[in-house]
Chain A
Amino acid sequence: GPKVLQIPSHQIIDMGQMVTLNCDPVSNHLYFYWYKQILGQQMEFLVNFYNGKVMEKSKLFKDQFSVERPDGSYFTLKIQPTALEDSAVYFCASSLGLGGSSYEQYFGPGTRLTVL
């Protein structure tokens, strides 16, 4: 089936530095998402992105977070500066549309971010 790729699979970074997580969504999908899962906790929604704009974001999507997808390339999540509580696995997802079966979200394998 359609695949979402995430690069890198694991990133270790010092607190205060910037990090960019990359997602290669399914090629014809239009809606993009980031979710965050802290070890032992539920996967939680961060942000939904469509047509170059953030459509919806949660309280977890702090001011230090930003997303973009320049010119149809990777969909990225940037954290600047990073904090210890940003350590988690970040999952990217994409969907074709919003209604019926096009609403189905396809997930990547996740990027494990460790902030030291």
Chain B
Amino acid sequence: GDSVTQTEGQVTVSESKSLIINCTYSATSIAYPNLFWYVRYPGEGLQLLLKVITAGQKGSSRGFEATYNKETTSFHLQKASVQESDSAVYYCALGGRAGNTRKLIFGLGTTLQVQP
């Protein structure tokens, strides 16, 4: 079936260090997968961080970037230098392009704690 896997439940990184949060997906019923990273800051709702709808492309926002890799079915989130304000829960999600399902399939989420 369709699924999203985030292997790390919690990641702790020191400020100014680099970050990678892993995400792999399985899209057996979605012909044209779209991939998303959402973020939930403390006390707030989910916000879209970045999205990529075409395999091989890279999305970026607020210093974060992720590349849609169809060969490895991965969409890892990276940032070269994290800040304390990046502390939040990050969700990888899989969706369908127009003509396919409209729902989003989420990973479990990864809690990022940035230490000063």
Known A-B contacts A43-B91, A104-B51; the reply to A31 vs B102 at CB < 8 A is yes
A-contact bits for B87-116, CB 8 A (1 contact / 0 none): 000010001011001111111110000000
Asked whether A48 is an interface residue with its Cβ less than 8 Å from the other chain, the reply is: yes
Q: B103 near A42 (CB under 8 angstroms)? A: no
Q: A41 to chain B: which residues have CB within 8 Å?
A: 108
Asked whether B48 is an interface residue with its Cβ less than 8 Å from the other chain, the reply is: yes
Nearest CB of chain B from residue A82's CB, rounded to whole Å: 23
A-B contact count (CB 8 A): 53
Nearest CB of chain A from residue B92's CB, rounded to whole Å: 10
Tell me the chain B residues, 39-89 only, with Cβ under 8 Å from chain A: 44-48, 51
Q: A106 to chain B: which residues have CB within 8 Å?
A: 48
Q: B45 near A56 (CB under 8 angstroms)? A: no
Q: A103 near B101 (CB under 8 angstroms)? A: no
Asked whether B34 is an interface residue with its Cβ less than 8 Å from the other chain, the reply is: yes
A residues in contact (CB < 8 Å) with B: 1, 3-4, 31, 33, 35, 41-45, 48, 55-56, 58, 91, 95, 98-100, 103-110
B residues in contact (CB < 8 Å) with A: 4, 34, 38, 44-48, 51, 91, 95, 97-98, 101-109
The 18 listed contacts between A and B (C-beta, < 8 Å) are A3-B45, A4-B45, A33-B102, A42-B4, A42-B106, A42-B107, A42-B109, A43-B91, A43-B106, A45-B103, A45-B104, A48-B103, A56-B103, A91-B45, A98-B98, A100-B98, A103-B102, A104-B51
